Amino acid sequence: MKAVTIRDGRLLFEEHPDPAPGSGEVLVRVWAAGINGADMHQRAGRYPAPPGSPQDIPGLELAGEVVERGPGAERFRDGDRVMGIVGGGGQAELAVVNERILMTIPDEIGWPPAGGFPETFTTAHDALFTQAGLHPGEHLLVHGGAGGVGTAAIQLGVTAGARVTATVRNPELRGAVGALGAEVIAPEGFAEHGPFDVILELVGAVNLADNIAALNTQGRIAVIGIGAGATGELNLGLLMSKRGRIHGSMLRARPLEEKALTARAIERSVLPLLASGALKVLVAETYPLSQAKIAYDRFAAGGKLGKIVLTG
């Protein structure tokens, strides 16, 4: 097989041995794989893949067809269309995945949206509902609303009955993000639009002080992105006075059991909405696997709406 390959910070498209599925695993012919911020960090040597995942082949999510099943793998049949989160190795023609973390792709969904769905919607759903406990009628703030996770979080919040506000830096993208159901504002002065019951932090520590200031009583801050800084000053007294809570999360390093639970939650609560058209995966651009370097450069340039997806 061929795969996107990291060599000394460079991206190549190289030959690798075909992987073989082990117990409880399936071999997937990958037709689409989204690019995520973690892939950029892995390329730069700042975010190694967890043990058991390829260290030189990036890719945290994939969509494709089952072409072979290992011993004991019974959830799917050859030819089934599946998608899911992986520890790495998704940006390849073939990938081995434990069947428990895979989900069936709804018939209505094509390959590029399926390839950009698992990481973004699972991350957003887990942060908003499993961890932050977002309820109908609450006020949600999404920082970085134009990206893949941001657009997913906005839609999930709206369908759950929350009032959603989103910060978007690029003025040209604000109209499209607003069409998802959010009140869209510039990042500067966002605290004036609070108070917020839940804040989804996708940008970083630059927002920390104003997040605390804008938090409602018993509000929750979910930190899942730190591209604009990982350290900042925290006013613990203000957080205490609001009885607020701040927590961080990432999916990649979680054990198999926890990843399987997130997949089951998505199957129950999100896939029916995706199949009905109530939720959409916004795909900004697609590139062949062989043009991964161009796709990564486009990701790094910013100013996109939704996901950049590699296709097989």
Q: How far apart are CA 156 and CA 160, in angstroms?
A: 6
Q: Could you say which architecture CATH assigns to the domain 120-248? A: Alpha-Beta Complex (3.90)
Helix/strand/coil (H/E/C) assignment for every residue in 283-300: EEEEEEHHHHHHHHHHHH
Query: In this predicted structure, what is the pLDDT of residue 50?
Result: 87
Equal CATH topology for 2-117+252-311 and 120-248:
yes
> pLDDT digit string (tens) for 173-197?
999 999 999 999 999 999 999 999 9
Cα 307–311–312 angle (5° rounding)? 160
Query: In this predicted structure, what is the pLDDT of residue 229?
Result: 86
Of 144, 140, 74, 124, residue with least CA distance to 102: 74
> pLDDT digit string (tens) for 25-47?
999 999 999 999 989 989 988 88
Q: Which residues of the chain, if any, have pLDDT below 50?
A: none
Write out the DSSP string of 255-280: -HHHHHHHHHHHHHHTHHHHHHTSS-
Domain boundaries of the chain, sorted by first residue: 2-117+252-311, 120-248
Distance of CA 239 to the CA centre of its chain: 28
> pLDDT digit string (tens) for 249-275?
888 888 989 999 999 999 999 999 999
Query: In this predicted structure, what is the pLDDT of residue 98?
Result: 97
- Assigned CATH class of 2-117+252-311: alpha beta
Query: In this predicted structure, what is the pLDDT of residue 303?
Result: 87
Compute CA distances 30 → 4, 25, 67, 143, whole Å. Answer: 12, 15, 10, 31
Which residues have C-beta within 8 Å of that of residue 278, sequence separation ≥ 6? 155, 159
pTM of the predicted model as reported, rounded to 2 decimal places: 0.94
Neighbours of 237 (CB within 10 A): 9
Inter-residue contact 232 to 160 (CB < 8 Å) = no
Of 76, 197, 70, 67, residue with least CA distance to 132: 197
Query: In this predicted structure, what is the pLDDT of residue 230?
Result: 86
Query: In this predicted structure, what is the pLDDT of residue 253?
Result: 82
